[in-house]
Amino acid sequence: MTVTPTQQPSAAPAIPERTALRRHYLMCRPEHFAVTYAINPWMDPSAGASAELAVAQWEELRSTYLALGHEVSLIDPLPGMPDMVFAANGALVVGGRAYGARFTFEERAAEGPAYSDWLRANGFPDVRDPEHTNEGEGDFLTMDRLILAGTGFRTDLAAHQEAQEFLGRPVVTLRLVDPRFYHLDTALFPLDGENVAYFPGAFSPGSRAVLERLFPDAVIATEEDAAVLGLNAVSDGRNVVVNAEATGLVKTLAEHGFEPVPVDLAELRKAGGGPKCCTLELRSN
């Protein structure tokens, strides 16, 4: 008996239905925004940055979250703290507990206690004052089963250990190697609790191999998209708030069944930040 091989029609892989989960975010209006010092390669104090324009763009971001059904709390900006708009750096809040930030540079040091005080006064009494240098959600990104943690420019390796012990969640270290992508949240973002999008060139060879093993189905971003801080995005599992200039990524996300929500935060990019930097997620579980 001969078996004739039949040509299988090449079925397009089914795109899963994406589900949004309602989030609670903490944000800080950039009333005192400026670029007065340079602590990352995006910052040029001579280039001129407008607090007024930053506030207008930031207001759009806040309205976007509200329109998507999320809750947004606000912390008062401190005069003389031009980077305080980058709320992601203020802490890591998981399971109702907060691991406080301890900034790398003196210029931002006062933000750590300011965010911790806000959390204690607003329903998160269990705040850990950190022993080790860490810049909160800038370098810690929470997934369902683990926390991804960046090191190399800002957050100390020892802080990964400290966060794991305090939060009781497995922390996976990833080493950043490109100074443009000095925080983990400039190179990678969780699409949902299980999968991520990232730019491989931002990571050491070993960390790239770890990412390939953990996330074989990850969305891989190009250098062009990473270079406009496209990976500094915020996903609720379905809607992805992303810098509008990351046009390739916007298209790829849509092809994967996500709903890209482009925003313009070009003024904040002069300080090296995008949507995610402006957003600290307050996770009660």
Judged by beta carbon, residue 83 or residue 162, the one nearer ligand ARG is 83
Judged by beta carbon, residue 18 or residue 160, the one nearer ligand ARG is 160
Least CB distance from residue 28 to ligand ARG, whole Å?
Answer: 12
Least CB distance from residue 43 to ligand ARG, whole Å?
Answer: 6
- Contact between 265 and 274 under an 8 Å Cβ cutoff? The reply is yes
Assess whether 183 carries a catalytic annotation: yes
What gap in Å lies between CA 121 and CA 117, rounded to an integer? 6
| Beta strand residue intervals within the chain, DSSP E | 24-27, 71-74, 91-94, 97-100, 127-128, 140-142, 147-151, 171-175, 188-190, 196-198, 219-220, 234-235, 239-243, 259-263, 280-281
Place of tokens 């100390």: 156
Judged by beta carbon, residue 141 or residue 191, the one nearer ligand ARG is 141
Assess whether 132 carries a catalytic annotation: no
Judged by beta carbon, residue 18 or residue 142, the one nearer ligand ARG is 142
Judged by beta carbon, residue 149 or residue 271, the one nearer ligand ARG is 271
Least CB distance from residue 15 to ligand ARG, whole Å?
Answer: 30
Sign of the Cα torsion 214, 217, 218, 222 reads: positive
Judged by beta carbon, residue 169 or residue 269, the one nearer ligand ARG is 269
Which strands sit side by side in the sheet containing 24-27, from one edge to the other? 71-74, 24-27, 280-281
Q: Which residues bind ligand ARG (CB under 6 A)?
A: 39-40, 43, 83, 86, 88-89, 108, 138, 183, 185-186, 271-273, 277
Least CB distance from residue 179 to ligand ARG, whole Å?
Answer: 11
Write the DSSP symbol of residue 158.
Answer: H
SS3 222: coil
Among residues 28, 70, 160, 277, the one annotated as catalytic is 277
Residue 92: both structure tokens together = 């890591």
CA 213 to the chain's CA centroid = 21
**Angle at Cα 275 formed by Cα 147 and Cα 106, nearest 5°?**
75
- Contact between 163 and 140 under an 8 Å Cβ cutoff? The reply is yes
Write the DSSP symbol of residue 74.
Answer: E
Q: Enumerate the active-site residues.
A: 183, 277
